[in-house]
Amino acid sequence: MNNLIGKKLTAGYGGVDIIKDINLEVNKGEIVVIVGPNGAGKSTAMKALLGMLSLTSGSVEYSNEEISSMLPQNRINLGLAFVPQTNNVFTGMTVEENLEMGGFLRDDDIIHTINDVYDLFPILKEKRNQSAGELSGGQRQQVAFGRALMTQPKILMLDEPTAGVSPIVMDELFSRIIEVRKTGVGILMVEQNAKQALAIADRGYVLVNGKNSREGTGEELLNNPEVRKSFLGG
Amino acid sequence: MMKFERYEWLAITIMISLFIFVGFIQGWSVSLVILNMCIISAIMTMGVNISWGYAGVINFGVMGFLAMGGLAAVLVSYPPIAESWQVGGRGLGISFALLVVLVIAVMYINKIVIQKRNRYILNSLIIFFGILIIRHFYLNATHNIEDINPAIAGFLGGLGLPIIFSWIVGGLFAAGVAFVIGKVALGLRSDYLAIVTLGISEIVVSVLKHEEWLSRGVKNVIGLKRPVPYEIDLQNADWFINLVTYLNSSKLNNIIDLGDRQQVLNNLIIDGSGIFVKLSYAILFLIVMLIIFYFANKAQLSPWGRMMRAIRDNETAANAMGKDVVKQHLIIFVIGAAIVGVAGAMLVTLDGLFTPSGYRPLRFTFIIWIMVIVGGSGNNLGAIFGGFVIWFAWIEAAPLTTFIINQLTVGLEPTNVLKLHLLNSVPYFRYLFMGLILLLILRYRPKGIIPEKVRHS
Amino acid sequence: MIDFLNSIIVLLNFIIIPGISYGSQLALGALGVTFVYAILRFANFAHGEIMSFGAMITILFTWFFQSQNIGLGILPTALLALPIGIIATIILCIISDKFVFQYYRYQKSVPVVLAMVSIGVMFVINAIIRIIIGTETIKFSDGQKFIMKAKQFKVMTGLNEGLALKSSQVITILITILLLTFTFWFLQKTKTGKSMRAFSDNEDLALLSGINPDRVVFTTWIIVGVLACVAGTLYGLDKSYKPIIYLNLVLPIFASAIVGGIGSPFGAVVGGYVIAFSEIMVTYAYKKFFVYLLPSSIEPTGLVQLLSTDYKFAVSFSILVIVLLIRPSGIFKGKVL
């Protein structure tokens, strides 16, 4: 059973708690979206799951194992992966090197995984020897995505994967995310483009002011009049 | 008015008792020599502390500014050498005028020629030929100057004014150089700035070392006039002899033999004259130190000081609030450098000679920085304390090391190779102490011994 | 034609060959500074002393081998002692990291604090070196001094000008080529090398990829130790060993690293040669060169020297200031390995 559960997470920066008693869960093969207004603590919640900030209280469990005090690097080893919103590629390295670095911890032959990533994002194969810093925003996002896939994660966390890309690229990225789900990976993402994200989501959480406000299937949330009114733009 | 905390009084007491201790153990003359250097170190440290402690602007150019202060002492106090002015004055004047013309020309071109490439080419051409022409006049003039009586002169000399004026002029010289450096380098991130200022101070020192017409270069300038009496004059002055006799009357009266008494009195007068001179320096220096200390503290407490701290603690925020950070940095860099310049002039005054090759940036810059960090950056009393304690440690490291080595190797024969080698290496142990002090302070008391007081305002 | 050849030989003998060998020494030094800057993110003022330490250990073992009559024939004995020097230097680097730098890294101190700390380390190493070996000038090159003497060259070619080729220069150049090739191969082709580049490029993302920072730092110090010891020993072989010179060497080395674009290894190497050549070219008296090249009617009368040799030291920093003014990020935009 590969599931990641956050129980009653309370965490923040410099003594100020941004999220309070939040519960989150991602299971194998499902897309879970966290939506909510700006400053609701969406990214913070995700970082708390990964251990990039320490918990004031609450716990994180992965496959029924308590991992609350584990370093982020070690959680990567367990099968979690994370794509930050910004600075998510090695700009001075080529696309292929970025992918290799993604597979840094693996001792087996990573060439197959690299090819899988190239199949998923054909443009990257074309630009494999170009340095990632020279790519367009959408292509960088694909590199970042591909880098995270290189660990062959069980749970993939994406922090606003479509921030700053054009609608066409966004659709493209979302369809890739669906493809990744088919391989059995659980995906947790924070999204500004809530409507489109909920449309592909199995489940969604709505965070408001650092607290769980609502949860349900993607469809339920999409059709909920209150959710629609507050931040899906009617 | 500022009030001292208890631990600050403790620090002051420690400083004073150190000198009394040395006075009793090694003699008052030694104690005063160390004290004078301590005061100068303290002033330098305050200078560095103002830019680093108040505003977080790093200044590794200390030696350059110190040397500029020293140059001021020479140029103010040395009697003018008329002959040199005759043979070289005109040429130097012409080359200086041409230099001004050149600078104006370049500025003018920058203004009217818009296209970048043309501007580059035009500027390079003008600078190249300009320098070629200037060099012609300049080299002629400097050669002529340097040829005049090279054994004792060979440079332009100074103004022949009392050397004490140079303490202000030295500050201005250093400020001028600091302004140019600041214009070029401020705005770089701190570790770049550290390296660049260090390098520029190296350039300043090498100019002073090699432009003999200005500073006599490596031939040094000696015999600068003192602001205090000379020992030999004191020894012949009636009031001084009377003073010494009066102070030691009980001791002298115990000696019955007249010849013996005269002998003892003569010795006392000779010792006393040396101490009197050093004491006069110490009093002059103390006055300067206290004046700077007073104003430095006042500035720190003023709204301007608060703004500087704001800039230091959060540059981006200060920038956003519309403070011109680079300009403020430049101001404080120049002020700090000026104070170091004052110390430089004082140092040359104390020594009575100017030796450009003695300013070795890589050697001494860091010692002054150790003073700042050990004392406590952002606290003026801390700066003084750091200056005192570190200079004291620097001087007393050798006797202390000898003592320790002798204790540790007490079982070894006096001819033992290891013991001899260690005793020969005594002078190098001070670097070890300096390094260890710095590392220990940075690790266990990173804010320094007397840390900056956090003022809530 | 003969005059032309003569003038070329003058340039070769007095500028190009000394420039390449001094440039190589600076390049290796600057590369070491660059590694520390790119991975540990501070300006390491102790680097000159680390070089000096490496050279000192090499000298001590050279003396030992000489006393045992172990040698390399025509090659200097120092080459035999060099590996021991390298190991000692690596140990020194790792000890100073464990006891000093590591603490501040874990504290996430700002770079300036680390630079100050490195000054403390500089003082300590400086003292250790002086206590062990003193401050005198030491010449420790043995074996065959010249590969070609000026006189031999004159006889061989019949030209007026001689071309001398010291074996220390050739050794410097060969070892530099070898070491640079290896370093760049390591960075570009090996997994560890790539992980170092990644770490230097984006530390957070490197952590997210599972790259172990302690291992990257450890490897960095090993490389720095090798580069520093080799640079220090080559400099000492070529000129002579004197502790104070190594203290001063840190300035042109920093200048090289920054001119090339700090944090960029390729830039550091180029910077080393730029600084070396400008130091030599600006202070060289070109009279002889022009005497050969120009007809006697317009021969120069002076020395044709841009700046007196006294300013040698100032040149590297003038170059640095000029580069920072025109192109603040250095010739090759720095910041990443």
Which ipTM did the prediction report? 0.90
- Residue window 74-113, chain A: list those with CB within 8 Å of chain C: 76-77, 81-82, 84, 87-93, 97, 100-102, 104-105
Q: Which residue among B184, B189, B439 places its CB closest to the CB of C321?
A: B184
| Residues belonging to chain B with any Cβ–Cβ distance to chain C shorter than 8 Å | 58, 184-185, 188-192, 194-196, 198-200, 202-203, 206-207, 209-210, 362-363, 366, 369-370, 373, 422, 424-425, 428-432, 434-436, 438-439, 442-443, 446
Tell me which residue in B202, B209, B439 faces C310 most closely, judged by beta carbons: B209
Considering chain C, what is the average pLDDT of its residues? 89
Structural tokens at position B233:
């004059």
Nearest to B47 by CA among B351, B326, B316, B377: B377
pLDDT per residue as tens, chain B (457 positions): 456 778 888 888 988 898 898 888 888 888 999 999 999 999 999 999 999 999 889 999 999 999 999 999 999 988 888 777 878 788 888 888 888 998 888 888 888 877 878 888 888 888 888 888 888 888 888 888 888 777 777 788 788 888 889 999 999 999 999 999 898 888 777 888 888 899 889 889 988 988 888 888 878 888 888 888 888 888 888 888 888 888 888 877 887 788 888 888 888 888 888 899 999 999 999 999 999 999 999 998 898 888 888 888 877 777 777 668 888 899 999 999 999 999 999 999 999 989 988 888 888 899 999 999 999 888 899 999 999 999 999 988 888 899 888 888 888 887 888 888 888 888 899 999 999 999 999 999 999 988 887 654 4
Tell me which chain C residues have a C-beta less than 8 angstroms from the C-beta of A89: 202, 205
B362/chain C closest Cα distance in angstroms: 7
> Whole-angstrom Cα distance, residue B238 to residue C21?
69
The full set of domain ranges for chain A reads: 4-231
Contact B198 C251 (CB under 8 A): yes
Q: Name, in order, each residue with C-beta under 8 angstroms of A38's C-beta and a sequence gap of 6 or more.
A: none
Fold of C2-326: ABC transporter involved in vitamin B12 uptake, BtuC (1.10.3470)
CB burial string C301-325: b at 16+ within 10 A, e below: eeeeeeeeeebebbbbbbbbbebbe
Set of chain C residues whose Cβ sits within 8 Å of the Cβ of A108: none
Interface touch B431/C123, C-beta < 8 Å = yes
- Looking at CATH, the fold of the domain delimited by B6-80+157-444 is given as ABC transporter involved in vitamin B12 uptake, BtuC (1.10.3470)
Residue of B nearest to C117 (CA): B439
Residues in chain A: 234
3 state SS of B399: helix
What integer is the mean pLDDT of C291-319? 76
Q: Which of the following CATH numbers is that of domain A4-231: 3.40.50.300, 3.40.50.2300, 1.10.287.70, 3.40.50.2000?
A: 3.40.50.300
C124 and B436: CB-CB below 8 Å? yes
Residue C251 to residue B362, Cβ atoms within 8 A: yes
Structural domain spans, chain B: 6-80+157-444, 81-156
CA–CA separation, C284 and C17 (whole Å): 13
Distance CA(C288)–CA(C298), nearest Å, equals: 13
3-state secondary structure B281-340: HHHHHHHHHHHHHHHHHHHHHCHHHHHHHHHHHCHHHHHHCCCCHHHHHHHHHHHHHHHH
Above 80 in pLDDT, residue C307? no
Any residues with CB less than 8 A from the CB of B287 and at least 6 apart, and which?
Answer: none
- Give C311 to chain B, closest Cα distance, Å: 7
pTM of the model: 0.89
pLDDT at residue number C316: 85
Contact C46, C119 (CB under 8 A): yes
Angle, helices B62-77 vs B166-185, to 10°: value is 140
Both structure tokens of C148: 């070609």
Show residues of chain B in contact with C247, CB under 8 Å: 362-363
Condensed to tens digits (0 to 9), the pLDDT of residues C86-119 reads 999 999 999 999 999 999 999 889 888 999 999 9
Subunit contact B199:C316, Cβ cutoff 8 A: yes
Assign residue A41 a region: left if phi > 0, alpha if psi is -120 to 50, beta otherwise?
left
Nearest to B199 among C134, C251, C308 (CB): C251
Query: The tokens of A122 are what?
Result: 């054909």
pLDDT tens digit sequence for C205-231: 998 888 999 999 999 999 999 999 999
Do A and C count as touching (3 or more CB pairs closer than 8 A)? yes
Tell me phi and psi for residue A37, to 5 degrees. -70, 170
Do C210 and A93 make contact, defined as CB atoms within 8 angstroms? no
pLDDT classification of A111: cutoffs 50, 70, 90: very high
Q: Spell out which residues of chain B touch residue C122, defining contact as CB-CB under 8 Å.
A: 366, 435
> Who contacts C313 (Cβ-Cβ below 8 Å, separation ≥6)?
B202, B206, C248, C251, C252
Among A181, A191, A117, residue whose Cα is nearest residue A155: A181
> How many Cβ contacts (< 8 angstroms) between chains B and C?
119
Tell me which chains share at least 3 CB pairs under 8 Å with chain C. Answer: A, B
Residue among A91, A97, A105 whose CB faces C194 most closely: A97
Pairing of strands A4-13, A16-26: antiparallel
Dist. CA A204–CA B348, nearest whole Å: 77
- Is C196 exposed, middle or buried (CB count within 10 Å of its CB: 0-12, 13-18, 19+)? buried
B435 contacts in chain C (CB < 8 Å): 120-127
